[in-house]
Chains A and B, each alone.
Chain A
Amino acid sequence: MSSVTLEGTTKTFGDFTAVRAMDLQIANGEFVAILGPSGCGKTTTMNMIAGIEEVSAGTIRFDARDVTRVPMQKRGVGFVFQNYAIFTHLSVRENLAFGLEIRGLGRGEIDRKVGEMAEFMALGHRLQEPSAALSVNEMQKLAIGRSAIVEPAIFLLDEPLSNLDAAFRERMRAELRQLQRALKQTMVYVTHDQIEAMGLADRIAVMNHAVLQQFDTPKRIYDAPANVFVARFIGAPSMNILPVELSGDAVRLAGRPADSLPLPAASRAALADRQSRDLLFGFRPEALRIADDGAEASLSAEIVLVETVGRRAIVHFQSGTSRFTGVFERGFPGRAGEAVPLAFDMGRAHFFDRESERRIEITPGRGVLDG
């Protein structure tokens, strides 16, 4: 296993830039998810790491070894395809042995390694069977085993869970995580599913429009999104991002001059030299509560719609010209058309620069963002 370093890695197709100057450092043994909407360049990034796509500019290194121009059959990566690409005309054993036979290992050694890997993947009892007869679960294991057996420098997985149904996906996700731990492999996992990425990865690389937006731990990505895109993309329902008026020590929602939301000291300091029109105010639906006394930051909002989803109620509010959502326990008392007083946890609010859409860092050390 190896670390992976991308430096200014770029891929262009004619005039179209699929991946722009990507810098990424994946540590040895780390499980990294590349997350983004379709067409964001995540698959192209992975294909460049695998050598399936040629790199247009920049470099890719495995440890200190520059592999930018190394063809894919010599690069030594493991690749698990979306549909696993099992060699269905071969038996389970022949699938596992494929890479070893290509490398010209002796019969005895191949048998030993195949036996070990089959045991490890719990496929030992099915070795002689045609691989087309395997269940999806076993196919995933076989696909990983077939790649792992040649001890690749890194492992790349292309949305391997995307064509499974929801219940089964959860089980496979857990299994994949266990396998990664047991194999102690550097894994790069491409997905458009944030729950998969949040649940599996040590770190997540969020991409949009060919550009890396943020590369950080799931917790940091959620609590301290780098910009408006990441803030909106991660979390469901997604973060409310609204224009606000800033007046010294408080903010007001557009069209609601009466309700003022006082800023904590740390936020005040960070926003000291900002103008209202430069600012976007963001808060997660979970940060809303129904106000029980008039002492805290609160405003009055009208309920537009209450959706009950499982154990949660997703409530849509309107206040002035702003619309936003909140998440509450099931059994939320309000009904559409009613006005309720809402309290904000201003310590968990985010501010973004409207021009660059980057998050304005609230000075750490005050415990504001670490909660």
Chain B
Amino acid sequence: MKAFDLAIIGAGPAGISAAIEAAALGASVALIEENPVPGGKVFGHMNDHLKDAMPDRFEKRIGSQLLQRLDSVMDRVSVFLESEVWTVWDQWIVAIHQKGTSGDQVRSIRAGKLIISIGAFERIVPFQGWTLPGIFSVGGLNSLTKRGIVPGEKILITGSGPLQLVLAHHLINAGAGIIGMVNAASPQDIAARGLQLLSNMNGSVLASGVNHLFAIKRQRIPTYFSHAISMADGSHQVERVVIVRVDRTGRPIKGTEREIVTDCVAYGYGLIPSCEVTRLCGCNHIFDDQLGYWKVQLSEKMETSKAGVFVAGDCRLVKGYSAAIEEGKIAAVEACVQLGYTNRKTADSMLRASRRRLRRFKRFARAMECISRPGPGLLDIISDDTVICRCEEVTMKDIRSAVAEGAGDVNDIKRRTRLGMGHCQGRFCGQVINELIWKMTGIPQKREIFTARIPVKPVPFGVLAKV
């Protein structure tokens, strides 16, 4: 088994930044990425000739700088591409499922320290018809648009969060037709957080934001504040949707429904951290009541409750690429202190500026996340026929029956209905299942999360048999 000082899981902005810093201090580094290229969702597409489709200058500049710096330390970094971590064994053996032209293989590496930087994914509130082809996550449609692909002519952007603006701007640049923007927040909610946002912005975020807003303003796109998508319909793909006015708590207001004809819908309520690998490692997690998601507990040194396991980037708190780059650096330098490649004094002086910038990014991110978080009343849009678990096609009705039969917690629901047992391993349905049980029983119980199981990502049996 190959051994490294440091294994970094996820080669997005945080992971790449960590690899650069650790390699520069002399550590041997394994950088593991499931995609064919490093860069993550924000910079991963910059490696090829399609990169000119990217309109955001700031993003482009920071991304190319980061990828160039990674190139300059490649002699000290072993990059494993198309490689998924399916489990982590204690102290620390990382099990990798690597795809390749000569077939899949599994291998394991040993690492002195771990940095987990696996990013974030879409926050959802299921609605009837959300599984129809043509309904994309906001991030999913954004990644296509950045690559010059616009899969529709009448595009409706729904949900909440800053990524909506980024997507709208990218679509406008691609010459796409946006027929409307639907936002669950009210203008008052957004204004209330505006000051908090402005006082914590850095130059490039502010410039990007203003740039996006002006581009959207010029297009005179119909905008529906305090509205949410509640239903989608179509025979083989989305053909029309219903949007409804919602009150301050997110509750739909009867009689305010309106139908919109569309062939492409982006849908999502911001992003939430991906915490399945830290859960698998046995790190402590807490539920952040203000932001409405689970997150791993970290020390100031970005270390989890498990000694030697560090976390960086959006898989702790969703903050975007600039903050992820700072966190990657902090986690790597702290890991290198423990490994003996640098000392406390040097580390502190290396990290002073990063720590200061990060504090501001975090305040900004919290305010942004509070705007994105849908109110609890929005769960009222879920009808009996709404699919809650896409993978196993478990509906609200199935959950209702299970609760009536006595299912009392999320793992019990999982055993009875197969909710959360499919390919995505409960990443989407797991976000709402607590609230749905509480709603049905009328009793808010302990907040729970599915037990993280091996493998965290599906691995074919035939591949495992070769271990």
- Is chain B found bound to chain A in the same assembly? no
